[in-house]
Structures are given as structure tokens and as C-alpha cells.
Copies of this chain bind each other. A is one copy, B any other.
Amino acid sequence: MHGYPRVREITVDNLDALARGCAILGTGGGGSVETGLLSARRALETSGPVKVVTLDELADDDVVVPLSGIGAPTVSHEMLANEDDVVRLAAEVERIVGAPIAAVMSSEIGGNNGVEPVGWASRLGVPLVDADGMGRAFPEVQMVSMNVVGLPPNLIVLADVIGNVSVVRPVDGAWSERLARALAVASGAHSLMADYVLTAEDARDAVIHGTVSQAVALGSATVGQADPLAALTDVLSARHLVSGKVIDVERRTGGGFVRGSVVVESTGADRGRLVRIEIQNENLVVLDDGEVLASVPDLITLVDSASAQAISTEMVRYGQRVSVLAWPCDQLWRTPRGLDIAGPRAFGYDLDYVPVEEIGAVRA
């Protein structure tokens, strides 16, 4: 629990704050929130507000469906989802589990995947759970808390914009990623996905709680502030790693991912210092001349230095004035299994994870 004020409903009035907060928690990925904002707002206007519930408010055997988009965020940013996708997906889930869906949960609170579920819940007429499976964004299917606590990935359902529905029963988390990704790529690099369909009882020990409320709180923190960056850094208890200008962006889309790096040249007291952020959909590692300043699973977000609005890996451009913030992930990700699944080595970096608050030199 994060100690943020509890949100009991998402309406057109707090949707923007939610989206800003999701962008911050997106650590550059999870898709740019603009498309989710459009579809969620339309759903709220036509189907009404979405109740936000805790898992304790659901009955033990209530069916909770974690939902997300899977694919390259570049594509989801350019292609609006078909509004019937979630209806087709829900019908398939209900057919398989033989019970109605009681609530929708974001698989990933970060980025667009934290915002879209508002529209999906509204469309299905069910509440949204105040929790998610990451507490942030991650690029791969197996990088969810349900996998960290050891639930078997026994059912994945995908629905694409064309109307195809697919079900995958993988042997483990790595295969859930491989097969779901292959289907998403074949469908044009984006699909809607239900992953780890579970009961409220099983979900209680397997998710990161309170993250919808957290996102709304983060999105509200900068409103009307004279120094939004300071306000955001404060509410996150984040480290401010560098402020400067983007002088290089390398970015390529392939195999359902966006990969590359961003270089920021400091314009602060340490003018000229170069900080490099490596990305795979999300910001993974911050390097200063080979020295690690922060790494996954801790959260790393680029924000506009003036407005403190998050800048996704899709939207970062040469010349932007940005600040890089980093702050601790949920304790779940710091367990041995959490680090196996989403630590630096899970992304191919040959380095040991050091919690961001324990890393020495921070020269902002």
C-alpha cells in the first residue's frame, strides 16, 4: 500500500489525472496514454463511470480478469482498438471459466495499459480493481506479479482488432511471452490480452495493491504547482538523476518491441555530462560513463523539465528538455524470483541489481 488517498470511482473528472499518473508509472513504456484517454473518455461518456474496488470488497470466488494491450507501443499509438475487442475477449474468458467476469484489473498500471482498462471496465459494466500486476510497466508477458508469486500462467486469451480470438495455455512464463507475442505480431503488432485470469482470493496475495489510487495521486500532484518537477519528485520520493537536453535518440521497432537508447546532456551544474538511458519499450538502465545510476526493476521515468509530464520512449525527441527521475519498485520485484524475472539480467545486462536508493553518486 502506498498511502495515497483512496479513489473510489473513475469519471471524466479524474481520468486525466489517472492518465498523467499512469504515464509517470509507465517508465517510458506501456504505450502513450493518449489513445487510452480517447477510448476511456468515450466509454465513460456512453457507459458511465467506473467503480474502483479493492480485492477485499470482492467475494473470494469472483473472477478477476487482468487486461492489457500487448505489442509495440508505437503501433498502439497509431491504431485505435476496435471497441468490440474487449466484448469478444470477455465472452471467450467467460466461456472458458464458466462464470461471469466480476471485475477488470490492469495487468500493468504504467502507460496506456493503466488507462485503457477504465474503458474496458465501463464497456463491460464491471468495476476496476485498485491494483495491478506490475506497479509500473514492463515489456514482457511473464513480467507480472502473478508470475513472481508462482501462479501458473495457465490461461491467456487474446483478441485482435481484426476479430480473431486466441487462447494460449503455456507451460511457463517464458512460453506465455513467446506465444502471445507471436500472435500479437501476426495480428499487426498489437492485441488485447487477458493474462492470469484468477479469483479475487488468489489475486489478493499476487498483485500490487492501490496503484490506481497512486496513479491518480501522482497525476494530481503537479496541478497548480509553481515547480511541478519538485512536486513530482517529492510525492514519488524519487531521485533526480539529471536534467538536460536530449542529444541522441536511437529507436527501432521489431519483433513486437521498441528498442534503443536516449542520451541526455546535462544543462545543470554538471553541464556537459552525458547520461544514457537504454530502452526496450520501457526505460531499463541509466548509465553515466559506464556507471549505473538506476536499473530495472526500479522505476526510471523521463519527464518534461518544465511541466513534469512523463515522456514515453515513443515520444522522446532530439532537443527536448528533460529530467530523469528514478525511484524504488515494489518489494516484490526485489525478491530473488522478482529479480530473476525482471532484474537487469532478465534484459540481457550483465550487472547486479543495486536498489536505486543505495547507489552512491547522484549529481543532479
Contact = CB atoms under 8 A, between A and B. Distances in A.
A41 B171 CA distance: 29
Contacts of A168: 164-167, 183
A175 B183 contact: no
A171 B162 contact: yes
Given A178-B186, A182-B183, A187-B179, A166 B169 contact: yes
Interface in A160-205: 162-171, 175, 178-179, 181-183, 185-187
A92 interface: yes
Instruction: Count identical subunits in the complex.
Output: 2
A84 to B, nearest CB: 12
A169 B164 contact: yes
Contacts of A92: 169
Given A182-B182, A186-B178, A171 B163 contact: yes
Contacts of A163: 171
Contacts of A167: 166-168
B171 A182 contact: no
Interface in A137-169: 162-169
Nearest to A187: B179
Contacts of A179: 164, 166, 183, 186-187
A91 to B, nearest CB: 10
Contacts of A187: 179
Given A162-B171, A181-B186, 19 more contacts: A92-B169, A162-B175, A163-B171, A164-B168, A164-B169, A164-B170, A164-B179, A165-B169, A166-B166, A166-B167, A166-B168, A166-B179, A168-B183, A178-B186, A179-B183, A179-B186, A179-B187, A182-B183, A182-B186
5 contacts: A92-B169, A162-B171, A164-B179, A166-B166, A178-B186
